[in-house]
Chains A and B, each alone.
Chain A
Amino acid sequence: MERVDPLTIPAARPQSRSETFAFLILVAVLVIAPFVIYPLILMQALCFALFACAFNLLIGYVGLLSFGHALFFGWASYLSAYSAKAWGFPPELAILTGAATGAVLGVISGMLAIRRQGIYFAMVTLALAQMMFFFALQAKFTGGEDGIQSVPRGKLLGLFDLADQLTMYALVLVIFLAGFLFIHRVINSPFGEVLKAIRENEPRAISLGYKTDRYKLVAFILSATLTGVAGGTKALVFQIASLTDVHWTMSGEVVLMTLVGGLGTIFGPVAGAFVIIAMQNFLNALDQWVTVIQGVIFVACVLLFRRGIVGEIAHHFRVKL
């Protein structure tokens, strides 16, 4: 049996035509899609795609497995929803509130989590997220089991009424593409090269004089902030923020999406998010079996399919995606 470990695949050259080509196809598909597929499902998938891309920035490019990303997603979604509903924030400010929430929580939990490596990092992030889950359960403003419901979508910049599904879709698409391109830029910057160096061999990066903790913290905060954007956007799309978004199962779901799509590939998390969201929506009849199916996919991916969908395609055609 061939052993592949995407976490240690050497970095390909930074510029590649295959990426541009794939990106253009992605944009084209996403522009046409809302006329074919129910926009709400697409918006859900796009929010999760951004979430997964932000998560992949850590696991795929720094080699840090966070098992607590629901913390940023859920709390950003709560604060976006609350600011829009209770304080009457317009949507652009509500989403920024989500981003700020992710950033602040990212600074705090990142400073704690990067003190440990590898497997401990995963356990620390999971435990911190669980702690904040209990805070969300007990805090008054989150509405406990009910969550924050009927969040107003409002008018973007006072001009565009987001109650219209297609207008909302356009906003979500712009946010997703901006986030995606930002991550792509980060990964291919000198900063991103240092991140990959840390992933490959942290002691060597340290010996070369890089303060790796600082790089890891910045990457963690970036990832948390983008997750916050995704969570805030999700709260506006579904007009609800609830305990589901902060629960550890949500952290597991984003790991699954990234794993299915391909760890450490730029398009993988997007593909993974669409596959998993599609599965959840189309397998609705099997509602109760969804957890089991997700578990089976986890096991199958780890044992047989470690490159993920996009990773396999990239490997087969020898291109970078």
Chain B
Amino acid sequence: MFEIFGIPSQALFGQLLLGLINGSFYALLSLGLAVIFGMLNIINFAHGAQYMMGAFGAYLVLQYSGLGYWPSLIIAPVLVGIVGVIIERTMLQWLYKLDHLYGLLLTFGLALIIEGVARNNYGSAGLPYAMPDSLRGGQNLGFMFLPNYRAWVIVMSLAVCLSTWFVIERTRLGAYLRAATENPTLVRAFGINVPRMITLTYGFGVALAALAGVMAAPIYNVSPQMGSDLIIVVFAVVVIGGMGSIMGAIITGFGLGVIEGLTKVFFPEASNTVIFVIMAIVLLIRPAGLFGRTA
């Protein structure tokens, strides 16, 4: 036990860890938003609601089939991803030729519907979701106690983020995706099924949100409004990072989580607002965002 700037190390590292956890969710969600925006030119306001659906998916899978955390980690994102594909086919595809704003308005409406239905069926209070037995307990690192589950969340989301980055920036499929983002008509002329790619991209982005939701369930409880407050912070993260770069989204997400965690230690009153303040500063200094390209 030692102190840093008059703060016990235990508290400092505890908050740093919590910051990294929050950062993992910011990174996963802003990554999904960036991927979706790249292909669909739509800001997916329902992203928070789909994150919440992931958590509820895990809860319901447990309730109705008895399958625990590990199967849910696959099942819930796949189910929510399928819902995403249906949403894209039935609604979003009609909006691509319109102003960007209509996509935002439509997905905002979807978020209201999803959240409202969840609240009517399960109330506003959170439902507990047990963490898997294999990840209970933790490690004593000497300077702090590291719960296994939290370490898992950080490692897992880092892995997912980095593999997404790898697929998009370093593989053939990713090259198609990036090409279709730049010029869909030309890519179609080369015989690539761009509409299907768009649909699957939306499904994938939504599934990422749901995956984050499943991982969040044991930490934050499962509640209908868990997504809506988070998504607004993620929007600020996206404004700070700019949506042009996948790696930018990941770095900004984790970095802001850590900054938020540190604020909780040194200046707790500002912990809710620090990300928004940083956004304001970034807008003043670098209007295009840290990793953004000026339009």
Could you tell me which A residues sit within 8 Å of B by CB distance?
1, 3, 5, 7-8, 59, 63, 65, 67, 112-113, 115-120, 122-124, 126-128, 130-131, 134-135, 137-138, 248, 252, 255, 259, 288-292, 294-299, 301-303, 306
- Which residues on A sit within 8 Å (CB–CB) of B114? 295
Check if A124 sits within 8 Å of B102, measured CB to CB: no
Is the C-beta of B136 less than 8 angstroms from some C-beta in chain A? no
**Distance in Å: Cβ of B113 to nearest Cβ of chain A:** 4
With known contacts A124-B239, A288-B120, A302–B280 Cβ distance under 8 A: no
Distance A303 CA – B109 CA, assembled complex (angstroms): 11
Most buried by B among A1, A290, A291, A306: A291
- Which residues on B sit within 8 Å (CB–CB) of A292? 112-113, 116-117, 120
Distance A127 CA – B279 CA, assembled complex (angstroms): 8
| B102 and chain A: residue at smallest CB distance | A302
Majority SS at the chain A contact face: helix
A-B contact pairs, 19 of them (CB 8 A): A7-B101, A59-B101, A63-B99, A65-B101, A115-B283, A115-B287, A116-B239, A116-B287, A119-B43, A123-B236, A123-B238, A127-B232, A131-B276, A134-B273, A259-B105, A289-B116, A292-B112, A294-B112, A295-B112
Check if A302 sits within 8 Å of B112, measured CB to CB: no
Distance A1 CA – B95 CA, assembled complex (angstroms): 12
Is the C-beta of B108 less than 8 angstroms from some C-beta in chain A? yes
Distance A302 CA – B90 CA, assembled complex (angstroms): 13
Q: B120, B235, B238: which contacts A289 (Cβ < 8 A)?
A: B120
- Which residues on A sit within 8 Å (CB–CB) of B79? none
Q: A115, A123, A288, A290: which contacts B235 (Cβ < 8 A)?
A: A123
**Per-residue contact bits, chain B 191-231, to A (CB 8 Å; 1 contact, 0 not):** 00000000000000000000000000000000000001000
Check if B295 sits within 8 Å of A117, measured CB to CB: yes
Is the C-beta of B259 less than 8 angstroms from some C-beta in chain A? no
Check if B98 sits within 8 Å of A127, measured CB to CB: no
- Which residues on A sit within 8 Å (CB–CB) of B116? 288-292, 295
Distance A22 CA – B175 CA, assembled complex (angstroms): 56
Check if B105 sits within 8 Å of A128, measured CB to CB: no
Distance A299 CA – B109 CA, assembled complex (angstroms): 6
Check if A126 sits within 8 Å of B105, measured CB to CB: no
Q: B105, B120, B239, B277: which contacts A131 (Cβ < 8 A)?
A: B277
With known contacts A122-B43, A295-B116, A5–B99 Cβ distance under 8 A: yes
Check if A299 sits within 8 Å of B110, measured CB to CB: yes
Distance A304 CA – B114 CA, assembled complex (angstroms): 20
Distance A238 CA – B91 CA, assembled complex (angstroms): 39
Is the C-beta of B94 less than 8 angstroms from some C-beta in chain A? yes
Is the C-beta of B170 less than 8 angstroms from some C-beta in chain A? no
Q: A5, A127, A294: which contacts B236 (Cβ < 8 A)?
A: A127
Is the C-beta of B82 less than 8 angstroms from some C-beta in chain A? no
- Which residues on B sit within 8 Å (CB–CB) of A8? 99
Distance A1 CA – B96 CA, assembled complex (angstroms): 14
| A137 and chain B: residue at smallest CB distance | B272
Distance A119 CA – B115 CA, assembled complex (angstroms): 23
| B288 and chain A: residue at smallest CB distance | A116
- Which residues on A sit within 8 Å (CB–CB) of B236? 123, 127, 130
- Which residues on B sit within 8 Å (CB–CB) of A294? 109, 112
| B87 and chain A: residue at smallest CB distance | A299
Check if B112 sits within 8 Å of A130, measured CB to CB: no
| B281 and chain A: residue at smallest CB distance | A112
Please report which residues of chain B, range 245-295, place their CB below 8 angstroms from some CB of chain A when the two chains form the complex.
Answer: 269, 272-273, 276-277, 279-280, 283-284, 287, 295
Q: A3, A124, A306: which contacts B283 (Cβ < 8 A)?
A: A124
Q: B94, B101, B106: which contacts A298 (Cβ < 8 A)?
A: B106
Q: A117, A120, A289, A302: which contacts B105 (Cβ < 8 A)?
A: A302
Check if B273 sits within 8 Å of A131, measured CB to CB: yes
Check if B108 sits within 8 Å of A298, measured CB to CB: yes
